[in-house]
Every structure is written in C-alpha cells, then in structure tokens.
Chains A and B, each alone.
Chain A
Amino acid sequence: MDSDLIVQILFAAVKTGTPLLFIALGEVICEKSGILNLGQEGMMLMGAVVGFLAAYSTGNMGFGVLAAMLMGSIMSLIFAVLVLQLGANQVATGLALTIFGTGLSAFVGAGFVGQTIQGFPPIAIPFLSDIPYIGRILFSHDILVYFSFGMTAVLFYVVNKTRIGLTLKAVGENPNAANAIGIPVLKVRYLAIMFGGAMAGISGAYMSLVYTPMWVENMTAGRGWIALALVVFASWRIGRIMLGAYLFGLASIMHLVLQGMGWSISPNLLAMLPYVATVIVMVIISADHFKEKLLAPRSLGKPFDPRNMA
C-alpha cells in the first residue's frame, strides 16, 4: 500500500467516525448523569430524516442540521419524561424509543427515498490543511467535522474543568446525595438527556446530509448501538471517545482497505466487520470487571425518585 492510499483511508475513517463521535459525545454526557438511553438509534434516524427533509425543502443545509438537532431533543424528551417523571425502566423506554424512531422515520421519509441533495462542501482550512498527511486527513473536511472537533474540545473542558462537569459527575455518582445537598437532580438529567438527543440528531443529519447524502430507511445501520459500545470502550472519557470513534470508523471501511490490498471477499461478509469488531472490543474492554465498575458512573441505569427521599 502506498502512503496516498493510507491517507485516503484515514481521511475516510475520520469521515465515517464523525457521526459516531457526535452521538457518542451526546451519550457520554447522558451516561455521566446516570442515565442510560438505548434510544440512540431511533433519535439518530429521526435526526437523519428530519434533517434531510428540512434541508431538501428549504435548500438550506444549516437549517437541516438545526432541525435535526431539535428533532433529536424532542425525541429524547419523550424518554426523559417517561424515565424521570414516571420512573419507567430505562432499558425498556430506550428500546421503545428506538422502535418508535425507526418506524416514524420510515413513515415520515417514505416519500423522499432516493432523492439526493448537494451535501456540505469540503472546506480546506488554510495552512493546517497544508501540513503533510495530517492536513489531508484532518483538515480537508466539511464544516460539521470541524464542528465535531470543536464540540469534543468544549465538552472536554466542561466535563473536566468546570463546576457544570462536577455537578454532572455528582448526579451520576450519587443522585440521592446530590439531591440532599440541593443539586436539582432531575433538571440536570433532563438537560443531559436532551443534549444527548440533540447530538444524536446532528449525528443523523451527518449521515443524511453529508455522508450519503440522501435518505434511506434504516440508514444508520446500528451506529446508535455501536456508539453505546464506544462509550464503554472509551471508559466514559471524552478524549478517548474521539479516538475510539475514528477507530470504529476505520473498522467500518475495512473493506476499502482489504480491497486496496487486493483481497476479494464477499461484501456481505465484510459488512459484518464493524459489528464483529464491536463485539470483540466489548469483550476486551469489559473483561476487567473491576476496572469497568470503577470508571462507569455509579448510578448508571438505576432509577431515582426524589419523592422516595423520606
């Protein structure tokens, strides 16, 4: 393989990893507050279809992205009300959200299958894109990729260096204690869940506005689920999520690599690769039970009802 091909592959890995990065960043914030939202896939699909519809009908790509984020938040709000207000089981509610989102997105998008739009154009960042190799891999993308860089940096700062991050971690570790010292646990969780929804929305929009760019039923193909694995892989750390997203991105384009190396394997078998890779990664990461317990937010997935505080 020549270096040009490697650069191309890594460029594609970043591009493929970007929707994973968006959605995993949203989910990690949500999980840090102690909430496990399995509705990622549903929210992402809704983001994809609504983003596409909005951009297609207005011709304004930015509008499409905003609409997708809004849609993701609305979807996550359904989840939030059920889980936080009505004390519903997080796993079941998340599954319901995914099933609902899968159906609704196909329903809404039925008339638009096969339409295409002009995606976001790539913008080479002056100077940075001239750096050998790195420039082409990282700085010759579209604006949403740069937005994901920025988002990663901002979240890294917020989570690790600010009081907001401290509050988030406190709520995720021990909501009862947080409630007792006056942190508004439900409010923090609402915001975290809705942020997760918005990020799932933009992730979907990236699929339908940039990556393909078109709307196809079920086009996210399990990325919402892979993002959940990615969060575990990254041990709930922002920086590692970025790295992990690109590694998963690389795994999903392995067929390019293998073709580049002159292999010929059925594309249907190659299509399994990201899922097999996810399973393998999960096995390796979780095998150290002790470490995972140490790193995971303590109250993750457990119900919290402030009315039980008597």
Chain B
Amino acid sequence: MIRIQARTEPSSLMKVASPLLAILLTLIFGSILFSAIGKSPLQALQVLLIAPLADTYNIGEMFVKMGPLLLCAVGLSLCYRANMWNIGAEGQLLAGALGGSAMALYFIDSDSAIALPVTLLAGIASGMIWAAVPTFLKLRFNSNLILTTIMFNYIALYLLIWAVHGPLRDPQGFGFPESAMFTQATLLPTLFESSRIHLGIVFAILSGIIGWFILSKTHLGFQIRVFGADEPAARYAGFNSKKLSWLVMLFAGALAGLAGVSETTGPIGQLVPNVSPGYGYSAIIVAYLGRLHPIGAIIAAIFMAVIYMGGDLAQIEMGIPVAVVSMFQGVLLFFLLACDFFINNRLSFSNQATN
C-alpha cells in the first residue's frame, strides 16, 4: 500500500531535484503529445532540445534569447522573495523598449559616445517608471499588485503599438508600423563576429550575480527574504516594508527595462510592435524553475531559451505551432509545483493495515 506521509524535515535533496524532475516529466508529456498529433516524438525532442545547441549559430541565438529572460527573472525572483506579486515584467520590458527607442531615435544623427549609455539609461528609467506606478498604487491605495501589473502590461503594449503607428514611425518606412533603424552610436556592441550575441547577455549574467549577492550577503537581502517568508515576523522585527517593496519593484523594473532596451538596441535594431515573444511572462516560469534564486535563474534561463529556440525550429521544420512553447512552460510549472509537494512529503510503501 502506498501512502503519503509528511516529512519531519523538508528534504533538501528534493529542493534541487524537483526542478529537474519537472523538466523530465515535461519532456515525457511532450513526447506523448507529439505522438498524439502524429509527429515522431524523438524527432520533436531532437528539434526542441538538441538542435538549438547543435551549432555555434544556434547557441549564439540561444544566448540572445536568454538575456531578456534572465534579466526579467532575476528581478522577479527578488520580488517574489519579498511577496510582491509583480506579473508586470512584460510591460516593464515593453516600456523599456519604448523609452529606450525614443532616446535612440533622438540620437539617430549622433555619433556621441554617450548616446548608447543614455539610451540604455532611458530604457532602465522607463522600466522603473512602469514598475513604480503599480507599486505606488499598492502602497498608497492598497490596490492588488497582480492585477495592476497585468493591466500595465496591456497598457504598455497598446502604448507601444500606438507609438510605432504614430510618433515613432519611420517617415521613410512606407507606412509600416516600425521605427527607423537605429544608427551605430546607439546599438549594443556584439561580443563575437558572425554572431548576434551582444552586451545584453553580460548585463543579464551580472544581474544574476548582483541579485545573488544582495539576497545572501546583505542585511537588506535578509530583510527581503524574511518579508517574503513570514510577513508578521518582518513587521515584528520592525523592517521597513515600504522601503523593501520599493526596492525590489524598482530593481525588477530596471532590469526588465534594460531587457527591453537591450532587445531594440541589440538584435532587433529598431522598435517593432512585437519586441517580446512573451519574455516577461516566461520569466515568471524561469524565476520559479530557478527556485527564486538568482543563480538558479541563470540555469533555468538557459533551459527556457533552448525551449524558445526549439519552438521556432519546430515550427520551421515540423510545422508545429509555435504556441507549443507557452504550453510547455505552463506544463513545466504545473509539474514543478506538483514535485515541490515532495519536499515536505514522501511516499511510504507499507503493508501496515489500519485497524
């Protein structure tokens, strides 16, 4: 007879194993799904997982996708650690892209050395503003952060679409809803020849390290963790909840904004309506898969970037709709949450009869 038993101490092995188990289960689920729709599961997995890492160009593209995912996920990890349910990374990313692009277009005829830093700062500031408004509304008016940040995602999207149809549209662009291409002064330098890997990935990995440093080495990070783990204890200890909330939200907004401006000044090179294929939402999954730990997020972001690449390849090579990516993300999070159950519980196999 199999019974579920609560563990006396949470299992530290399962804390690490649970994400890996969840990934494995998601792959099994994927295989079954592909069989069900008449595709070869092995081929599908090859396309989804192996092909993205098969040659240097693809690996480069993988890093290009990893950058924004990681930037957003590090910020979200800190927010979620502090129990601030910021679902607005997508909107903050779009705001960063929009604000940064406006600045890049301002510098379009310039070759000034400050053009790029100022453009990046404009993107960061825009992301922070987009995070600041819901934070203010929560702290001042007690409005639900989840809902306001979601609404701000939609508002940012329509604002961006409006901008590329209107004020930021390329006058020579034959009416396409796109900005002009940015000039060299405002483009992020690439790291290698013949690859699109750009400075953004460096920002991302740095952000992960900074996030880790804050959480585990500083008093502020400790306060953030207490705040998320046990709010009454944080209030009892006298931690300043408003300060901490502002801090994590602005940090997340800045990183998401940086992700956005890095996309437009990096691989894209202009402002287009579909800057983000849902990076801000996927970053939620990345944050969870990385156990809300900034270093964990680095590993999780690699996996998520592979899935993104794989989704693109699967569409091109096998005609599988690209939506499969977000479906897998959802399934992955389901499995992760289910596996986490076994951190505090275990199965016991016993023949002991009751009564």
Contact (A228, B147) CB under 8 Å given A266-B162, A272-B158, A286-B141: yes
**Pairwise interchain contact B152-A279, C-beta atoms closer than 8 A:** yes
**B330: interface (CB < 8 Å):** yes
**Pairwise interchain contact A82-B330, C-beta atoms closer than 8 A:** no
A89 partner residues in chain B, CB cutoff 8 A:
337
Comparing B107-115, B218-226, B235-243, B317-325, the segment that makes contact with chain A is B317-325
Interface string of A261-300 (1 = CB under 8 A from B): 0000010110110011011001101110100100000000
Bound complex: CA A96 to CA B284 (Å)? 9
A275 partner residues in chain B, CB cutoff 8 A:
151-152, 154-155, 158
Interface string of B72-97 (1 = CB under 8 A from A): 00000000000001010000000000
A91 partner residues in chain B, CB cutoff 8 A:
85, 146
**Pairwise interchain contact A279-B148, C-beta atoms closer than 8 A:** yes
A266 to chain B, nearest CB (A): 6
Using CB atoms, name the residue of chain A closest to B338.
A86
A135 partner residues in chain B, CB cutoff 8 A:
none
A276 partner residues in chain B, CB cutoff 8 A:
151, 155
A-B interface contact total, Cβ < 8 Å? 141
Q: Identify B147's interface contact among A93, A282, A287, CB under 8 A.
A: A282
A86 partner residues in chain B, CB cutoff 8 A:
337-338, 340-341
B90 to chain A, nearest CB (A): 12
B344 partner residues in chain A, CB cutoff 8 A:
87
Bound complex: CA A103 to CA B142 (Å)? 32
Bound complex: CA A282 to CA B6 (Å)? 40
**Pairwise interchain contact A92-B146, C-beta atoms closer than 8 A:** no
The contact size tier of chain A is 35 or more
**Pairwise interchain contact A271-B321, C-beta atoms closer than 8 A:** no
Interface string of B127-147 (1 = CB under 8 A from A): 000000000010001111011
Interface string of A225-256 (1 = CB under 8 A from B): 10011001000000000000000000000000
Contact (A99, B333) CB under 8 Å given A272-B155, A272-B158: yes
**Pairwise interchain contact A272-B154, C-beta atoms closer than 8 A:** yes
**Pairwise interchain contact B158-A97, C-beta atoms closer than 8 A:** no
Using CB atoms, name the residue of chain A closest to B165.
A268
Contact (A96, B152) CB under 8 Å given A86-B341, A283-B143: no
**A147: interface (CB < 8 Å):** no
A99 partner residues in chain B, CB cutoff 8 A:
281, 284-285, 326, 329-330, 333
B327 to chain A, nearest CB (A): 3
| Most-contacted residue by chain A among B158, B341, B344 (CB, 10 A) | B158
B165 partner residues in chain A, CB cutoff 8 A:
266, 268
The contact size tier of chain B is 35 or more
Comparing A2-10, A21-29, A104-112, A160-168, the segment that makes contact with chain B is A104-112
Bound complex: CA A197 to CA B27 (Å)? 27
**Pairwise interchain contact A106-B144, C-beta atoms closer than 8 A:** no
Contact (A279, B338) CB under 8 Å given A106-B323, A107-B324: no
B162 partner residues in chain A, CB cutoff 8 A:
266, 268-269
**A47: interface (CB < 8 Å):** no
**Pairwise interchain contact B150-A222, C-beta atoms closer than 8 A:** yes
Contact (A93, B154) CB under 8 Å given A99-B330, A282-B144: no
Q: Identify B143's interface contact among A107, A110, A279, CB under 8 A.
A: A279
Contact (A103, B333) CB under 8 Å given A222-B150, A283-B137, A286-B144: no
B325 to chain A, nearest CB (A): 7
Contact (A102, B326) CB under 8 Å given A269-B158, A286-B141: yes
**B166: interface (CB < 8 Å):** yes
A-B residue pairs in contact (CB < 8 Å), sample of 24: A38-B146, A42-B330, A89-B337, A92-B333, A93-B333, A93-B337, A96-B330, A97-B330, A100-B329, A100-B331, A100-B334, A103-B326, A107-B321, A222-B151, A229-B151, A268-B165, A272-B155, A279-B152, A282-B143, A282-B144, A282-B148, A283-B143, A286-B143, A286-B144
- A-B pairs, top 10 by smallest CB distance, nearest first, are A100-B330, A103-B327, A106-B323, A103-B326, A96-B333, A268-B162, A88-B337, A86-B341, A110-B321, A99-B330
* Beyond A99-B333, A103-B323, A268-B158, 15 additional pairs, beta carbon < 8 A: A82-B337, A93-B337, A99-B281, A103-B326, A103-B328, A103-B329, A225-B150, A232-B144, A232-B147, A272-B154, A275-B151, A276-B151, A282-B144, A285-B143, A307-B6
